[in-house]
Structure 1
Amino acid sequence: MTGLPFPLGVPVLTDGSVTLRAHTPADIDPVYEMATDPAMQRWTAISVPYRRSDAEEFVTRIIPRGWDTAQGLSWAIELDGRFAGNVDIRGPGPVTDIGFALHPWARGRGAMRAAVDLAVQYAFSEGGKEVVHWRSQVGNEASLRVAHACGFSMHGLQPGLLYERGRVHDAWTASIRFGDAPMPKTRWRSSLIETADLRLRPLEERDLDRIVEACNDPLTRRYLSWLPRPYGIAQAEEYRADSIWQAATGSKEIWAFCDVATDELLGTVAVMGLRGVDDGSGEVGYWTHPSARGRGLTTAAVRAAVEHAFSAAGLDRRRLTLYAAASNGASNAIARAAGFTVFGTQHLAEPLGDGSFDDLVGYELVRS
């Protein structure tokens, strides 16, 4: 902190590719373009509608005031000589927050990770900060990926933490402390697997309708008794968001298994419990869309997931378990066809959708 007025007091930070600098009037138009981008309006508290005069106020008044009062340290991100976005360290004192946004043209190039690293390290070394907090609406995968890549520790979901444009939102939260290494704390569990007939990939927004269809099917509801009632798009969005968070924390990897030609979701398969007491084990789970049943597709997907789970280049598991209700003939057949063998039965341990209880058959498979 130099004590000089804006813009003289704004340090220029660079890694040789990405540069953080003071905002100038030339940034007003690209700030306006960025702020009216649909993705930014979806995931941030930016005003809607957003006018060019709002961008002018932000660049020429709000940002200088933040620097001059030490209430907020905001840099313009520059990439290839062009304005690429903003990164902000917000609030006085040793505990602070970070916010960031990237212009659409600059996305997908690693610029934000570099910008956040530069801002955070300055906050620690020169700004007197001890901890920097990150928060975002649940579901904002792009922002979560930046925080994860920069070494933030993932904390969890905080209900009702954000209030944006008249609505309360749940938030994902994370933080980084002085002295923390600026590198991922966990391995992001997200991979693409292809077989002759199937593609296993992370869940995407276009899968939501198919998820809703599957999770309202009577057979699905009988054996997944914990599914919310009713089950609509909002519940499917929560399911997908949870899959992203679980991937980021390295706790679970879940795939949509899809027709290799159409990429239409046929079901899901997951390996869970990846960060338990035994870090060499995992549990396999799956469900199938009604339109895909009886064709051997789920068995093929489970086999592909198991191969990945046992691979040293994949999840590097030593042992996998799988559980199925005794009356669920299809699920038990899939387990056996995928090579699992029974190790025991828990009597009346599995709640069913009608309120009754079924025996729960336990299967295991050990890496050979």
Structure 2
Amino acid sequence: MTAPAWPLNVPVLTDGVVTLRAHVRGDVQRMNEMANDPDMVRWTAVATPHPLSASEKFAFEIIPHGWDSGTFMCWAIEFEGRYAGNVDIRGKGALTDIGFALHPDCRGRSLTTAAARLAIDHAFVEAGKEAVVWRSQVGNLASLRVAHALGFRLHGVQPDALLERDRIHDAWTGSLRFGDAPYPRTTWRASTLRTERLTLRPLTYDDVPRIVEAGSDPSTRHFLSNLPSPYGTKEALSYIHDSWWKAAIGRDETWAVADEDDRLVATIGVMGLDDPTGGLGEIGYWTHPDARGQGVMTEAARAVVAHALDPEGLDRRRLSLVAAEGNTASLRIAERLGFTRYGTEHGTCRLADGTITDHHVHELLR
């Protein structure tokens, strides 16, 4: 008996909110809108410019061939009676890749996560797949959020892993095995705190120019001698991406400290939140040159310490803070926040001018 061909071989899957189905002619216009969306162009390999004929070819030549050959299971995502995006499982054998995309007017409702969960369940239970691999360009925060929500093991950055429109990119990577629970493995560490003058929030791309200014400032670099030199947009983006990744894996939480105009004036973080004892963390921070001497960091750090020690916050029982000899501002902040100096690590700090000095270590117990 001959196996049915596309579209009859496309299983219809639903969770009551989203439905996965074969593509139809009525999807093409919205598919094309999605393919030309700036975020799609920025983060995927979709051809650009992308005429309507390219969307038609993808929907009615490439996708059917994938289903009929067993190499590419691609569904249309339907939400509230209209096309919302695509989700696909790629690969003929036991090891597969996942891809997903959503129309701009359907984003922000967790539809991609729901659709991907349906596709992954089918791949494991009905299609005999054993592992699904997720990869995205470093910096694709929306994709990282989906992978995190689906319970992917988040492995890290794989250099030179993606070729998209003739450019090679580093990739964030993760994987999911048959039998894994399809829910987050870690707590994503991202919160917003407010003080009298300041808002503490996750870093965004709008913060890049201010990060570059601070990272290029000689007084910032004096005690942070590990900063790349020169320090430009690429380095600021790497800093932001690293903060997002570490938030996703539950290792660190980093805040941009913003004034009433949402202008970044400092950053502060609690590091080591994946401590195996479950209760330690280390405070680290820097202040933009034009915000120094105004009590900004003391105010921000006081809010972070309270949040970190709060059982309803980060639930830390001990915080540490390390400041170099000569870093008077940082040492004063530690004192104002009630940290106790309990020791000195001699000769462990290299300053930007090559001088070797000491680190003073402090702690605060709940």
TM range (shorter): over 0.9
Residue 286 (structure 2) aligns with: 287
* Root mean square deviation, CA, Å: 0.9
Q: Within 5 A, what are the aligned runs for 1:238-277?
A: 238-259=238-259, 261-277=260-276
In the alignment, residue 265 of structure 1 is paired with which amino acid? L
- Give the Cα–Cα distance (whole angstroms) in 1 for the partners of residues 20 and 168 of structure 2: 32
2-structure distance, mates of 1:135, 1:196: 41
Residue 117 (structure 1) aligned with residue 117 (structure 2): yes
Matched, 1:174 2:168: no
Structure 2 counterpart of 1:296: 295
- Structure 1 segment 98-109 matched on structure 2, within 5 A: 98-109=98-109
**Paired position in structure 2 for 1:134:** 134
User: Which residue is 1:341 aligned to?
Assistant: 340
Name the aligned partner's letter for residue 170 of structure 1.
D
Unaligned runs of 5+ in 1: none
Shift of 1:3: 3.5
Relative to the length of structure 2, the TM-score reads 0.99
Look up the SS of the partner of 2:76 in the other structure: strand
Q: Quick one: distance in 2 between partners of 1:101 and 1:126?
A: 23
* Structure 1 residue 213, shift from structure 2 partner: 0.2
Counterpart secondary structure, 2:120: helix
Q: Within 2, Cα distance between the matches of 1:3 and 1:176?
A: 29
Q: Equivalent residue of 1:50, what SS?
A: coil
- Cα distance in 1 for residues equivalent to 2:354 and 2:49: 49
Q: Distance in 2 between matches of 1:128 and 1:337?
A: 60
Q: So what's the TM-score if we normalise by structure 1? A: 0.98
The worse-fitting range, judged by mean Cα deviation, of 20-29 and 35-44 is: 20-29
Residue 73 (structure 1) aligns with: 73
Aligned residue for 1:204? 204
Deviates more, 1:3-12 or 1:33-42: 3-12
Taking the aligned partners of 1:82 and 1:90, their CA distance within structure 2 comes to 24
Structure 1 counterpart of 2:355 = 356
Q: Which residue of 2 aligns with 1:45?
A: 45
Q: Residue 228 of structure 1 corresponds to which residue in structure 2?
A: 228
Residue 325 of structure 1 pairs with residue 324 of structure 2: yes
Moved over 4 A (4+): none
Deviation, 1:298, is 0.2
Q: Deviations over 1:332-363 (max 9, x none)?
A: 11111111110100111111111111110001
Q: Which amino acid aligns with 1:248?
A: A
Q: Which amino acid aligns with 1:270?
A: G
Tell me the alpha carbon deviations over residues 271-293 of structure 1, each in whole angstroms, 9 at most, x when there is no partner.
00111333210000000000110
CA distance in structure 2 between the aligned counterparts of 1:46 and 1:130, rounded to whole angstroms: 27
- Following the alignment from structure 1 to structure 2, what is the Cα–Cα distance between the partners of residues 353 and 164? 38
State yes or no: 1:148 paired with 2:148.
Answer: yes
Tell me which amino acid in the other structure corresponds to 1:217: D
**Whole-Å separation in 1 of the counterparts to 2:132 and 2:38:** 27
- What is the CA–CA distance in structure 2 between the aligned matches of 1:157 and 1:314, rounded to whole Å? 29
> Aligned residue for 1:309?
308
Shift of 1:163: 1.0
Query: Alignment length, in residue pairs?
Result: 365
Equivalent in the alignment of 1:213 = 213
Query: Residues 160-171 of structure 1: matches in 2 within 5 Å?
Result: 160-171=160-171
Question: 1 CA distance for matches of 2:351 and 2:125?
Answer: 56
**What is the CA–CA distance in structure 1 between the aligned matches of 2:228 and 2:169, rounded to whole Å?**
19
Give identity over the alignment, percent: 57
Distance 2:335 2:256 in 1: 21
- Does 1:56 find its partner at 2:56? yes
Quick one: distance in 1 between partners of 2:364 and 2:122? Answer: 49
- Letter paired with 2:186: T
Per-residue CA deviations over 1:303-332 (Å, capped at 9, x if unaligned) read: 111111111121100000000001111111
Amino acid at match of 2:75: W
Comparing 2-11 and 153-162, the one that deviates more: 2-11
Q: Which amino acid aligns with 2:199?
A: R
Q: Residue 18 of structure 2 aligns with which residue?
A: 18
| Counterpart in the other structure of 1:195 | 195
